[in-house]
Amino acid sequence: MISLPGMDRVWDALPEARMVGGAVRDMLVGCPVADVDFASPLPPETVMQRARAAGLKAVPTGLAHGTITVVAEGRGFEVTTLRRDVATDGRHAVVEYTDDWREDASRRDFTINAMSAIRNGTVYDYFGGREDLAAGRVRFVGEAARRIREDYLRVLRFFRFYARYAQGEPDAEAVAAIIALREGVRSLSAERVWSEIKLILKATDPVAALRLMVQTGVLELVLPGADVERLALLVARGGPVDPLLRMAALGPGNVAAFAGKWRLSRGEEARLDKLMRREMPHPEDDDAVLRRALAVNEAAVLVDRSWLYGGAGPEWDGLRTRLLGMARPVFPLQGRDLAALGIPPGPRLGALLREAQGWWLDGGCVADAEACRAWVLETAAKADT
């Protein structure tokens, strides 16, 4: 049974609560569990009262949907009152509270996510989730098409869980429903889609799931032109499990347009832009070439590009080790250094600084500040004669 700091205190305050969702699923397959969510038959107001009476902090983080965050030993646990759907529109649901565990489980997406567990480890499984998990089968709870119409994000969630847990052929009913209803993905917010894409790409090997996305027509909706076989090559090389690196392998096209469409963070956009540039050293290059490359790129970026545009094997592993083990060269002059040499501010100073940096790079980035200053003075003097 999972035991995270604070869990016992939550269960002491709410003994009728059950652990639900991903924590139960991952517990059953032996995956590490970092976060635990609870469900409770009690109304949210009662949950708050019980938690506070036990000396715990209770924050109404999603009161409109019956969710309270209970903080115990510095860790937050979401506790959501059992619900039934009254109405759905493909993105949002109007809910009512219930005390029926099966009814609450029936509104969840997949059988492997619809299980719950009590404190002693007993698992409640109303729809065959445990059997599906053992078989590597991702199956919707109830009618697949109905589950998708309730929230079209479930199309992408299917591929996320397929990438992580599936073995063998996909569930035929799920595939048919996804093909029939795939256009509903267009109604989802950019943030929700990009978040789910990253989770798909976090799977150890997402290639089978992405190929299924191609077959169902879903990948063309969210990532038109994506090259799954290029990603397959990256995975086969043993490249790191890194969503942005894998996105670069798929080929986002124009990075700025891609980032704008899917609302990437500035950091994500900047890194993706760097990854898409192909400049990098080769295993046979000497240290001078590596220093020049490091002077204009971070070592981590060059290593990432080596996975995308280089290869695998001892020689490429050796190159990555060399890059990560070398200090990054820094050009030793700035504009004020040239001004101190008597070069007046203006276009000439800027041009000389750029020329000096080019000379430094050509020399393998080994010239120190004194040598660079001497080169500037000599070059300036020649220009004046």
**Residue 91 pLDDT class (50, 70, 90 cuts):** low
pLDDT band at 85 (very low <50, low <70, confident <90, very high): confident
pLDDT for the residue numbered 326: 95
Q: Residue 17's pLDDT is what?
A: 97
Evaluate whether 356 touches 376 at the Cβ level (below 8 Å). yes
**Residues 292 and 240 grouped into a single domain:** no
Number of domains making up the chain: 4
Q: What span, in angstroms and rounded, lies between the C-alpha atoms of 198 and 369? A: 45
Q: Which residue, 89, 109, 132, sits at the end of a domain? A: 132
Position 84 scores a pLDDT of: 86
Domain-terminating residue out of 111, 132, 153: 132
Question: Is the CB of residue 141 less than 8 Å from the CB of residue 108?
Answer: yes
345 phi/psi in degrees, rounded to 5: -60, 150
> Do 84 and 24 share a domain, yes or no?
yes
Report helix angle 207-216 to 153-165, nearest 10: 140
Task: Decide: 17 and 79 in contact? Cβ < 8 Å.
Answer: yes
SS3 243: helix
pLDDT for position 336: 93
Q: Which two tokens stand for residue 176?
A: 């048919």
109 in any annotated domain: yes
- Encode pLDDT of 228-248 as tens digits: 999 999 999 999 999 999 999
**Residue-level pLDDT at 130:** 96
Per-residue pLDDT at 87? 59
CATH code of residue 247: 1.10.3090.10
DSSP state letter for 65: G
pLDDT digits (tens, 9 = 90+) for 132-154: 999 999 999 999 999 999 999 99
What pLDDT is stored for residue 383 in this prediction? 76
Residue type, 80: T
Average pLDDT over residues 8-31: 94
**Mean pLDDT value across the chain:** 94
Q: What is the pLDDT of residue 67?
A: 94
- Looking at residue 88, its pLDDT comes to 61
Do residues 7 and 36 touch, judged by C-beta distance below 8 A? Answer: yes
Give the residue-averaged pLDDT of 19-36.
92
Q: What is the DSSP letter of 310?
A: S
Q: Which residues fall within 8 angstroms of residue 143, CB to CB, at 6 or more apart?
A: none
Q: Answer whether residue 221 is part of any domain.
A: yes
Let me know if residue 59 belongs to a domain.
yes
Task: Count the neighbouring beta carbons within 10 Å of the beta carbon of residue 224.
Answer: 8
Specify the CATH number for the domain of residue 34.
Answer: 3.30.460.10
Q: Which of 278, 307, 325 is the last residue of a domain?
A: 325
**181 shares its domain with 246:** yes
Binned at pLDDT 50, 70 and 90, residue 249 comes out as: very high
Is the pLDDT confidence value at 175 over 70? yes
In which domain, by residue range, is 376 found? Answer: 335-384
Number of neighbours of residue 58 by Cβ within 10 angstroms = 20
**What's the token pair of residue 225?**
């032109």
At 336, list the tokens.
């004020």
Let me know if residue 127 belongs to a domain: yes
Closest CA to 82 of 70, 97, 94, 64: 97
Q: Are 353 and 329 in contact (CB under 8 A)?
A: no
Q: How far apart are CA 310 and CA 234, in angstroms?
A: 10
Query: Is 271 inside a domain boundary?
Result: no
pLDDT per residue as tens digits for the range 288-297: 999 999 999 9
> In terms of domains, do 346 and 319 share one?
no
> Per mean pLDDT, which range of 60-64, 124-128, 164-168, 339-343 is the poorest?
60-64
Q: From CA 1, how far away is CA 225, in angstroms rounded?
A: 44
Full-model pTM: 0.88
114 and 155 co-located in one domain? no
Are 91 and 61 found together in one domain? yes
Judge whether residue 273 has pLDDT over 70.
Answer: yes
